[in-house]
Structure 1
Amino acid sequence: MGLTGLLGERRVVFFGGKGGVGKTTVSSACALALARAGRSVLVVSTDPAHNLGHLWGAEVGAGETLLWGGDANAGAGAGDAGGAEAGAGSVTGMEIDPDAVAQAHLSTVGRTVKGMMPEHLHREVDRYFALARQSPGTQEAALLERMSEVVLDGLERYNAVLFDTAPTGHTARLLELPQLMSAWTEGLLSRRTKSERFSDAMRGLEGRRADAARSSQEVRDAEIRRVLERRRDLFVRMRELLTDAQRTAFVMVLAAERMPVLETVELHGQLRGIGVDVAAAVVNRRSPTDAGEFLAGRSTAEGEHVAELRRQVPGVPLVQLPLLPGEVTGAAAVGRFAALLD
């Protein structure tokens, strides 16, 4: 069974693995294969070293860019990604820049905080957030929030949302965050509740003189609670989505070499630990056996690594893709690669 058959009707798919194994190519080809079957697909790159635009030969950025289907295929022939046949869907691309997302997130939070603080403290707030930008976890938390917004909004407008993720370790940590962040935010809300009750009690002891202060404090408390509740709800929904095997799957992409196999086995264990379903492992760029002694030798060695992968992750279906001549660049090349996934 091909990769698209293994994914079935699942609507959110993450593609992850060691850097340089072809995650962007496989995720884009899968998006195109699904689009040819009539689905509208959003493919999102979260890898800081973006290749999505280079792969498709298009300008792709933080906004949505139509890559295939509709106007993107105007004048396309049958060789250009298969053309836009009747009833076909579409592929739309987006690249999320983690640095830009973190900066935008901190700027938004900073404006909210300054709105709750006296003006003479605004410069201190700016200094704090300038330091926070370099703090461990800040970029990951901001990226998770943006990814959550993209996928939850995308599911309202697309049949499927595919993520071309950063290299293995970064992706595994990121997918662990929804549970951690929702619990952390819930803890903040609990502390806010205790603080508000204490403040109410103190103002009650002070009598009418505290009415003006109470009104100002209540406004600030309500705004803080609104922000925290929004983030908690967002992370809870993302956590529920990630662990719903009917809607979400992870595809591990690797080369048939020792290090990628070891990383893939480790990644599989991490994904199982956080409850994310692994739909398949795609072994990319398998050497041919009939193209000379050198490649035949490589094929034999690769077969041994594939056998080890099967032994280590016996329940995961393997999809093996051949080494192709030349680079996969442009819609036509993506289309040829997509044909291998059906």
Structure 2
Amino acid sequence: MKFLDQATRNLFFTGKGGVGKTSVACATAVKLADAGKKVLLVSTDPASNLDEVLGVALGNHPTAIPAIPTLCAMNLDPEQSAAEYRERMVGPYRGVLPDAAIASMEEQFSGSCTLEIAAFDEFSRLLGDPAATAEFDYVIFDTAPTGHTLRLLTLPSAWDGFMEQNTTGTSCLGPLAGLQAQQKLYQESVKALSDSAVTTLVLVARAEPSALREAARTSVELAELGVQNQHLVVNGVFQAIDSSDPYAVALEQRGAAALSAMPAGLKAIPQTIVPLSPNGILGIDSLRRLGTVDFTSVTNSTDERFENADEQPFLADLIDGLIAPGHGVILAMGKGGVGKTTVAAAIAVAIAERGYEVHLSTTDPAAHIAAALNDERLPNLSVSRIDPAEETARYSAEVLGNAGANLDEQGKFLLEEDLRSPCTEEIAVFRAFADAVAAGTNKFVVLDTAPTGHTVLLLDSALAYHREVSRQSSEMPEAVENLLPRLRDPDFARVLIVTLPEATPVHEAAALQRDLRRAEIEPYAWVINQVLSPLPLSDPLMQQRQSHEQKYLREVSEVHASRTAIIPWQIEPPAGLHGLSRLTHSDKSTSTS
């Protein structure tokens, strides 16, 4: 990987969900550690799978990797970080203030905003305080999907501006209370990020248009923040071995076309191309092999194909059950990059084609619904996106109009100050999500939700929401009050867990299912996307990957899911009304051609 020729001390890996940031970051850490360097590998992703890739249980503090003496790794777990942050803020007052006051303080430190602040607080300590990582030669950050990463990186400027404007010192924003003392640390974090001699930002993408567009957008936004030292890694680039295999040829051509049409801004950035691995990237040995293809290990192994692969239910087989109630909400959930948008759009099109009124929406900051539909429309299919900026502006105006109507100028100033906080956006987006779900009472609503960690944060916000908003409004909106009961009603809400037949997506989907069940939400079905098993492949590298996916198909059907459906890999990308309809076609022979 070319960025290691003159590696900076700090290496950040970012990109669209599912592009292989963790694999590339881990492989980089292993390569540096194998060279005798002391390396700290850190994940700031709420849905991190660092443990699984490295094969070691990790926590909030550096843990040595037994196979490599000079490598340590850690997960900045949001829940644990939030608990530690909350205790630092509240702990000194225990036994000093009445129990009721302590309970009130703890409530102000509840909710998803505190998770964001706490993770950032720890992140800044590692980046901005040289003493925190002094024992290491390199610090590698395996960051979260793009939207979360950008928010993480822009928080220093946003909060610094907020604190400069807070001249009264009387803000009632609990989660921000501990930040005043940290301004110097945050300034050092920003300085380190923008110092090209210290930090390299590695943009990871796949040879796919959406991933490259996301990388280009990220590159521009980070450059505007002063992060100029960038490198592009295009991961998983496939080259066909058997030119008579139409699937292999199509996959190679699709990647080549995406690279040829790469946004101009990315072409100016130094690049590394990483070939597609025949098997998954799990364990230290596989990380050492990342970027190479050992053709001697690529064998014809079709005898290991998943039993009855051709008899597995397809996405079309779920539609009757999904529309049986006549209305309601259908949610596509899963790890970033597994195809939630495609699945949600295909289901919405299928339901609309049957004559039902359908609304398709997303809470994902990196929404790609318009691209999935090719901007085509059906008469009874409407499309929208929950835009954070728009929702925040709408929510703030409503609060100022209601709660601020009878306040004096000083009171209005404090209320406006409150609404400028980062927490307001989370509340506004959550309320919009609740409104979208409520619309399913008289039609079908299909929600392409955000990546796993963000989705769970939204759901977990239900109880904390009222505590947050009660300072600004005296009543709970009906949609919010009824959100969890609606999501728990199997006759109203149908949750589809979308995954790929690979280790990390399957295991993160299983973790999501456990979280949903703790919230008393039972998934309706699992949808396994981009499955190779039903395809008549002859390319040995494709066959190797076909063989590798068998254990994960079995795991889903035998361990995790009570109902499954598969979507075979498509020669033509499923975009536009025709392409999406192909995914829910009842004739399986057309789904593999």
TM-score range, shorter chain: 0.7 to 0.9
The structure showing larger relative contact order (alpha-carbon pairs under 8 Å, at least 6 residues apart) is 1
2: CA distance, partners of 1:150 / 1:128 = 27
> Is residue 192–residue 198 contact of structure 2 (8 Å, CA) maintained in 1?
yes
* Residue 180, structure 1, aligned to residue 133, structure 2: no
Per-residue CA deviation, residues 28-75 of structure 1 (Å, 9 max, x unaligned), is 1001111222311100111122211101111222221112xxxx24xx
Matched, 1:28 2:8: no
Could you tell me how far apart the structure 2 residues matched to 1:30 and 1:56 are? 12
CA contact (8 A) 1:64 1:92 kept: yes
Q: Of 55, 58, 69, which aligns to 1:57?
A: 55
- The yes-or-no answer on 1:104 pairing with 2:68 is no
Are positions 1:321 and 2:274 aligned together? yes
- Give me the whole-angstrom Cα distance separating, in 1, the residues matched to 2:57 and 2:96: 44
Query: Higher mean Cα deviation, 41-50 or 56-65?
Result: 56-65
Question: Residue 100 and residue 300 in structure 1: after superposition, are their counterparts in 2 closer, same or farther (change >3 A)?
Answer: same
The one-character-per-residue Cα deviations of 1:204-235 (angstroms, maximum 9, x if unpaired) are: xxxxxxxxxxxxxxxxxxxxxx9665311111
Task: Letter of the 1:60 partner, please give it.
Answer: L
Contact 1:282 1:318 in 2 (8 A): yes
Query: Which residue of structure 2 lines up, in the alignment, with residue 147 of structure 1?
Result: 123
Q: What letter corresponds to residue 147 of structure 2 in structure 1?
A: G
Task: Select between 163-172 and 123-132 the one with higher mean Cα deviation.
Answer: 123-132
Map 1:258-337 → 2, pairs under 5 A: 258-291=209-242, 292-309=245-262, 311-337=264-290
Q: Retained in 2: the 8 A contact 1:185–1:231?
A: no
Query: SS at 2:290's partner residue?
Result: helix
Query: Is residue 237 from structure 1 mapped to residue 217 from structure 2 by the alignment?
Result: no
The alpha carbon displacement at 1:125 in A equals 4.0
Which sits farther off after the overlay, 284-293 or 315-324?
A: 284-293
Partner Cα separation in structure 2 for residue 227 and residue 303 of structure 1: 50
CA shift digits 1:110-168 (9 cap, x unpaired): 224x37x9623x52342243244226x43222211111112334431101111111111
Alpha-carbon distance between aligned partners in 1 of 2:157 and 2:235, rounded to the nearest angstrom: 32
Distance in 2, matches of 1:303 and 1:294, equals 14
Question: Would the aligned equivalents of 2:209 and 2:262 in 1 still touch at CA under 8 Å?
Answer: no
Q: Determine if contact 1:249/1:278 at 8 Å carries over to the other structure.
A: yes
Q: Distance in 2 between matches of 1:309 and 1:51?
A: 29
What's the TM-score once normalised by structure 1's chain length? 0.75
Q: Does 1:40 align with 2:38?
A: yes
Once residues 127 and 264 of structure 1 are traced to their aligned partners in structure 2, the CA distance between those partners, rounded to angstroms, is: 42
Change (3 A) 1:101 1:273: same
Q: CA deviation at 1:237?
A: 1.0
Letter in 2 for 1:126: A
Work out whether 1:127 is the aligned partner of 2:80: no
Tell me if structure 1 keeps the 8 A contact 2:9–2:137.
yes
**Corresponding residue SS for 2:134:** helix
Separation in 2, partners of 1:246, 1:170: 25
Matched to 1:320, the amino acid is I
Gap runs ≥5 in structure 2: 171-176, 294-593
8 Å contact kept, 1:186–1:232: no
How far apart are 1:184 and its partner, in Å? 3.1
Deviation of the 1:107 alpha carbon: 2.2
How many angstroms apart in 2 are the aligned matches of 1:270 and 1:90? 34
1:325 aligned counterpart, secondary structure: coil
Residues in 2 aligned to 1:141 and 1:228: alpha-carbon distance in whole angstroms = 9
Equivalent position of 1:15 in the other structure: 13
| Contact preservation (8 Å) 1:32, 1:90 | no
CA distance in 1, matches of 2:263, 2:196: 22
**Alignment correspondent of 1:157:** 135
Contact 2:206/2:234, CA 8 A, preserved across alignment: yes
CA separation in 2, counterparts of 1:328 and 1:313? Answer: 26
Give the 3 Å change call, closer, same or farther, for CA 167–227 of structure 1 in structure 2: closer
Task: Name the CA distance, whole Å, in 2 between partners of 1:25 and 1:126.
Answer: 42
Q: Summarize the Cα distance change of 1:91–1:339 in structure 2 as closer, same or farther, 3 Å threshold.
A: farther
Distance, in Å, in 2 between the alignment partners of 1:251 and 1:133 is: 33
Q: 1:43 to 1:321 in 2, by over 3 A?
A: same
Counterparts in 2 of 1:202-221, with a 5 A limit?
Answer: none
Find the counterpart in structure 1 of residue 199 from structure 2. 248
Q: What corresponds to 2:578 in structure 1?
A: none
Classify 1:145/1:36 alpha carbon distance in 2 versus 1 (closer, same or farther; 3 Å).
same
SS in 2 for 1:42: strand
Separation in structure 2 between the aligned mates of residue 61 and residue 263 of structure 1, nearest angstrom = 30
Q: Would the alpha carbon gap of residues 265 and 227 (structure 1) be closer, same or farther in structure 2, given more than 3 Å must change?
A: closer
Partner of 1:221: none
Name the CA shift for 1:338/1:325 in 2 (closer, same or farther; >3 Å): closer
Alignment of 1:75-86 (within 5 A): none
Hey, what's the Cα distance between the residues in 2 that align with 1:265 and 1:310? 7
Alignment partner, residue 138 of structure 1:
114
**TM-score w.r.t. length of structure 2:** 0.45
**What CA RMSD, in Å, does the superposition of the two structures yield over aligned residues?**
2.5
Contact 2:276 2:291 in 1 (8 A): no
| Paired amino acid for 2:75 | E
1:290 counterpart SS class: coil
What is the letter of the counterpart of residue 110 of structure 2? Answer: R
- Give, in whole Å, the separation in 2 of the partners of 1:320 and 1:35: 22
On the 8 A contact 2:15/2:211 being kept in 1, the answer is yes
CA distance in 2, matches of 1:129, 1:338: 48
In the alignment, which residue of structure 2 is the partner of 1:198?
A: none
Q: Quick check: 1:42–1:93 contact (8 Å CA) kept in 2?
A: yes
Amino acid corresponding to residue 52 of structure 2 in structure 1: H
Q: 1:302 to 1:149 in 2, by over 3 A?
A: same
Identity rate, percent? 28
Is the contact between residue 286 and residue 323 of structure 1 (CA under 8 Å) also seen in structure 2?
yes
Query: SS state of the match for residue 182, structure 1?
Result: helix
Task: State the secondary structure of the residue aligned to 1:296.
Answer: helix
